[in-house]
A and B are shown apart, each in its own frame.
Chain A
């Protein structure tokens, strides 16, 4: 899976590089969960930047839920950002918009971390 990970202002930012479905969800999980651990040892913030993700099926969404359940006990806050319209609709239809803090773009997500 195409994947980029950066540390910006002390926050872990991950950039999944493609759609997530049953064919690569396992790899998405093996990339995402360690990022949660890294966030726990830095600022406690993990930002998932979805600008390169066209869509995500239920299997990919399940990985996000696993990340959220992993993040809770280690006091990591997960923010999602840069979702295209399709991803925004998927989050709404699946009920995931109630489970994650959603920011329109990376700048506003970073600004939110500065405020906390």
Chain B
């Protein structure tokens, strides 16, 4: 199973400023310290082995969109944030090379940052394409049509030529989709959100974003521990610090890195991918939070180790 991240930001897509690019170049040149590189291969080795992530790369700025390559040639996607555009272009290339023409899209919820990529999803214009939507909300079609009404977008939903299906799932029940068993859990977020567990070929991935955890609710916390149980990868909203999540930003509908590690430890999950990054954080800030989270995991690791990743646009995780 392969998980591919096309968009990892929360709330609003963001773009790097030219001053940030300049700062990265300065940092890289300082690290090179006048060294002479004989080949492109030498340069690549230097970049990969000697430059820290915020210098050599970026976490990106597209909003939530995650692809799972499962057990069939159908596509599985979680959410349609702005990362959906690039996913669609890449999927078209793969379809030309023989990949299937059915897309299965699982929606955590219908807030704008999780929908905004769909009007730019080029496969939707193709009459040979089938797009199946799945979610706990029975208003997915309504939300998509509304964001493409004339007042908001020049191309109406009815102009799209793909065949659409809208499926409302029930939390606690499982469905078989594209060779995977998919379960859904209800989460705490304004107007509701849903997390998904995908089990394919003996591997399992949990996608749980825009989910606030009320830590005093032991029953709810145990529900999530059970949902995450032994997962190979948990993709979880870690947008705020714990202090913010339980004080100033309580009831904003998001979670924290500390809660994510605690839940994954209790569930004995193998890997955590930090996700839904705060859009005002630059690459250096996200990297610091990632390192802090790795350190927290080391401090709190009592029985089973958890690998802590920090999702970025373009990351691929092979399970």
Q: Which residues of A contact B (CB under 8 A)?
A: 22, 25-26, 29, 55, 57-59, 61-62, 65-66, 69, 86, 89-90, 92-96, 98-99
Contacting residue for B243 out of A57, A89, A96, CB 8 A = A96
Beta-carbon contact of B300 and A55 below 8 Å:
yes
Given A22-B266, A96-B242, A96-B243, A58:B215 Cβ within 8 A: yes
30 CB < 8 A contacts A-B: A22-B218, A22-B221, A22-B262, A25-B215, A29-B216, A55-B299, A57-B262, A58-B215, A58-B258, A58-B259, A61-B246, A61-B258, A62-B216, A62-B242, A62-B246, A65-B246, A65-B247, A66-B216, A69-B247, A89-B296, A89-B299, A90-B296, A93-B257, A93-B296, A94-B242, A94-B256, A94-B258, A95-B241, A99-B243, A99-B247
Given A58-B256, A58-B262, A26 and B218 touching (CB < 8 A)? yes
Q: Are the CB atoms of A61 and B242 closer together than 8 Å?
A: yes
- Do the beta carbons of B262 and A90 come within 8 Å of each other? no
Residue numbers in A under 8 Å from B258 (CB-CB): 57-58, 61, 93-94
B299–A90 CB distance below 8 A: yes
Complex CA gap A26/B216 in Å reads 8
A92-B243 Cα distance, complex, nearest whole Å? 10
Asked if A94 and B241 make an inter-chain contact with CB atoms under 8 angstroms apart, the answer reads yes
The 5 closest A-B pairs by CB, nearest first: A95-B243, A95-B241, A62-B215, A94-B242, A93-B292
Collect the chain A residues with CB atoms within 8 Å of residue B257's CB. Answer: 93
Helix, strand, loop or mixed for chain A's interface?
A: helix
B244 touches A95 (CB 8 A): yes
Interchain CB contact under 8 A, A57 and B300: yes
Taken together as a complex, chains A and B put the C-alpha atoms of A65 and B250 apart, in Å, by 11
B295: interface (CB < 8 Å): yes
In the complex formed, the residue of B with least CB distance to A65 is B246
- For B256, what are the chain A residues with a Cβ–Cβ distance below 8 Å? 58, 94
Q: By the criterion CB–CB under 8 Å, are A94 and B266 in contact?
A: no
Which A residues are CB-close (under 8 A) to B242?
58, 61-62, 94-96
Please, which residues of chain B bring their CB within 8 A of the CB of A94? Answer: 241-243, 256, 258, 296
- Complex CA distance for A3 and B185, rounded to whole angstroms: 38
Q: Which residues of A contact B218 (CB under 8 A)?
A: 22, 26
Q: Do A59 and B262 have beta carbons less than 8 Å apart?
A: yes
Residues on B with C-beta less than 8 A from A22 are 218, 221, 262, 266
The distance from the CB of B89 to the nearest CB of chain A, in whole angstroms, is 39
Q: Is the CB of A59 within 8 A of B215?
A: yes
Q: Name the residue among B216, B241, B243, B247 with the largest chain A CB count within 10 angstroms.
A: B243
In the complex, how many angstroms separate the beta carbon of B73 from the nearest chain A beta carbon?
41
Q: Given the complex of chains A and B, what is the CA–CA distance between A68 and B52 in angstroms? A: 38
A90 vs B243: C-alpha distance when bound (angstroms):
11
Known: A59-B216, A89-B299, A92-B292. 10 other contacts (CB 8 A): A22-B218, A55-B300, A57-B300, A59-B221, A62-B215, A69-B247, A86-B299, A93-B296, A95-B244, A96-B242
- B277-303 interface (Cβ within 8 A of A): 292-293, 295-296, 299-300
Residue of A nearest to B240 (CB): A95
Chain B residues positioned under 8 Å from A29 (CB to CB): 216
Which residues of B lie under 8 Å from residue A55 when comparing CB positions? Answer: 299-300
Q: Which residue of B lies closest to A99 (CB)?
A: B243
- Name the residue in A61, A65, A66, A93 with the highest tally of chain B Cβ atoms < 10 Å from its Cβ: A93
Chain B neighbourhood of A98, CB < 8 A: 243
How far does the alpha carbon of A95 sit from the alpha carbon of B293 in the complex, in Å?
12
